[in-house]
Structure 1
Amino acid sequence: MRYVFQGVLMTLERAGEVVRKFFTFGHNLTGIAILIEKSTAEIIGFAGLFPCTALGVDDFEIGFLLARQAWGRDIAVGISQAQLAFGFEQLGSGRLLGLAGPKNRPSIHAPKKSR
């Protein structure tokens, strides 16, 4: 949470807005989905491709959020590899955005390591 949602807890109302806007429901191929540790069935984060207009046009943003216990295990690299392949090969996107704050080095390096 240090680098997402301005690093502060959300109100219940704001959390509902975020879930409805960004999470995957039904047959949508894009949006954020829950990441689960197979061995424990524990939720370890969220990841997905979701619509983004940061550059003034319709793009998709690579997004992930990992619980602290999932850090340092190259999970973000695997997520980035899967998102890049899905976005370019399955969705036919010409560009995918990876937005991260300048202090968020792990999130900046994960897509770079996945090339």
Structure 2
Amino acid sequence: MKILETTRLILRTVNHEDIPQLYKKIFSDIEVIKLTFGNELFNLEECTKFIKENCNFDKEIGLSAIIEKQTNTLIGLGGVLQCEYLNQKDYEIGFILAKEFWGKGYATEIGQAQIDYVKNKIKASRVIALVDSSNTSSINAIKKLNLSYFTKVKTEDSRGDREVYILNF
């Protein structure tokens, strides 16, 4: 199911056939993992479990597959997640791209579509993004999307400490 579409990308629900590609492009690449999930690579079983627990196979909220339209290639995960990192109901936007797709402006493009979705469809009053302080490329993309640094939080998952950026509507 298509959730969002931009000029170059489609955000759609994940399907079981995506798991081997996501494992190869995201979950078994140490550079990608260090900037997103921590320092431990996932084996295929852990990747499958994570995807089944966190990705949206049949709904719009959750992690979704990011597809490059021109080539119909799966290039990463992204999506809108409901969260309460700041002690109230919020919506977190996010994107995890395979290394070969870094530096092409895809994070900013999908991020803007996610912001528009939270603002116009969910009708929330703000959006947040969490990022590792060493992930300067993602921080730059988040700042291009007009989010501002707000605070630092410790997540309860494997991501650990994250900087929180916020955009009020």
Q: TM-score, normalised by structure 1?
A: 0.86
Moved over 6 A (4+): none
Map 1:1-115 to 2 at 5 A: 1=32, 2-26=34-58, 28-115=59-146
The answer to which structure has the higher strand fraction is: 2
Q: Which runs of 5+ in 1 are unaligned?
A: none
- 1:22–1:50 contact (8 Å) kept in structure 2: no
Distance in structure 2 (CA, Å) of the matches to 1:29 and 1:43: 18
Deviation at 1:96, TM superposition (A): 1.3
Deviation at 1:31, TM superposition (A): 0.9
Q: TM-score, normalised by structure 2?
A: 0.61
Helix, strand or coil for the counterpart of 1:99?
Answer: strand
The more displaced of 99-108 and 51-60 is: 51-60
Q: Which runs of 5+ in 2 are unaligned?
A: 1-31, 147-169
- 1:46–1:64 contact (8 Å) kept in structure 2: yes
CA spacing shift, 1:7–1:37, aligned 2, 3 Å = farther
Whose radius of gyration is greater, 1 or 2? Answer: 2
Deviation at 1:5, TM superposition (A): 1.4
